């Protein structure tokens, strides 16, 4: 069993605080029944209201997070695994806190895929530099709306963050405050309804794939921010079909990763191959 301690930031139900760590409501109820949760030192078996400043201590089994994270590789210094949609990466309530590791790159909450985590500061420094120097190559699988007629091409554009709307905007030419982005896209299969694409991030900016594909007229199916809800309803998808399926490492200074390639495809892609 793994022990976790957390301070409550605001008044809320106990179950909600525990669900922030990726546990299902059923898992939380099981923890309460098994007396695996304490609030301010007192064992709690009910979904009570906890107040800001309270301390929650809980115990959980790693297999309770199987639907959130699947370990692919682990050594003394690093961990590579597959993040499932619906859980944050960073912070105490994200995979960092749950796994006790350091995230050196990130995926959006609703994006799934392969990630590498550092298990100590030395590995974190080496991996952070490797990502900055583009020594780690990230490849994604996505399904988008409509027929993508280009077989393979690298698309150039400019991305600008809009903090007020918590999103980014794409421009064809350079504008003030925008940064250049490069997105390599290969069509795997396509028809008039949708297309399956392989995407390599040559620059890794916030929401780059989602926003760039939407700008090109092919939003990702299930993307509520850069797509259209009426189209997502048509496809009966409320979660975006985007996954980082491959990580390729050049010489990154960590022996167990140098020259390695990790692959893991999402279930929705395997079902449609």
- Spell out the SS3 assignment of the chain: CEEEEEECCCCEEHHHHHHCCCCCHHHHHHHHHCCCEEECCEECCCCCEECCCCEEEEEECHHHHCCCEEEEEECCCEEEEEECCCCCCCCCCCHHHHHCCEECCCCCCCCEEEEEEECCHHHHHHHHHHHHCCCEEEEEEEEEECCCCCCEEEEEEEEEEECCCCEEEEECCCCCCCEEEEEEEEEEEECCCEEEEEEEECCCCCCHHHHHHHHCCCCECCCCCCCCHHHHHHHCCCCCCEEEEEEEECCCCCCCCCCCEEECCCHHHHCCC
Give catalytic residues, as residue numbers: 108
Q: Do 15 and 58 contact (CB within 8 A), yes or no?
A: no
Burial annotation 105-143 (CB, 10 A radius, 16+ → b, else e): bbbbebbbbbbbbbbeeebbebbeebeeeebbebbbbbb
What is the rounded distance in angstroms from the CA atom of residue 220 to the CA atom of residue 146?
A: 10
Q: Do 137 and 248 contact (CB within 8 A), yes or no?
A: yes
Picking from 71, 80, 103, the residue whose alpha carbon sits closest to that of residue 90 is 103
């Amino acid at each position: 069993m793994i022990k976790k301690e957390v301070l409550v930031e605001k008044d809320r139900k106990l179950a909600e605080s525990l669900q922030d760590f990726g546990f299902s409501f059923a898992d939380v109820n099981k923890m309460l029944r098994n007396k695996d949760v304490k609030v301010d030192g007192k064992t709690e078996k009910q979904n009570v209201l906890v107040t800001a400043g309270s301390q929650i201590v809980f115990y959980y089994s790693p297999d309770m997070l199987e639907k959130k994270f699947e370990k692919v590789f682990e050594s003394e210094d690093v961990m590579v695994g597959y993040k499932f949609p619906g859980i944050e990466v960073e912070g105490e309530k994200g995979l960092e806190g749950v796994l006790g590791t350091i995230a050196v790159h990130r995926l959006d909450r609703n994006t799934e895929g392969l990630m590498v985590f550092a298990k100590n500061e030395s590995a974190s420094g080496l991996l952070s530099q490797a990502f900055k120097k583009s020594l780690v190559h990230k490849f994604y699988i996505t399904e988008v709306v409509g027929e993508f007629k280009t077989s393979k091409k690298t698309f150039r554009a400019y991305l600008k963050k809009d903090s007020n709307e918590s999103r980014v905007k794409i421009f064809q030419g350079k504008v003030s405050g925008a940064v250049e982005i490069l997105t390599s896209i290969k069509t795997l299969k396509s028809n008039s309804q949708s297309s399956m694409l392989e995407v390599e991030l040559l620059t890794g900016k916030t929401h780059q794939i989602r926003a760039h594909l939407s700008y090109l007229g092919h939003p990702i199916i299930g993307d509520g921010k850069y797509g259209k809800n009426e189209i997502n309803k048509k496809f009966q998808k409320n979660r975006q079909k985007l996954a980082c399926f491959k990580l390729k490492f050049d010489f990154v200074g960590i022996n167990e990763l140098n020259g390695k390639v990790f692959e893991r495809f999402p279930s929705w892609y395997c079902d449609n191959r």
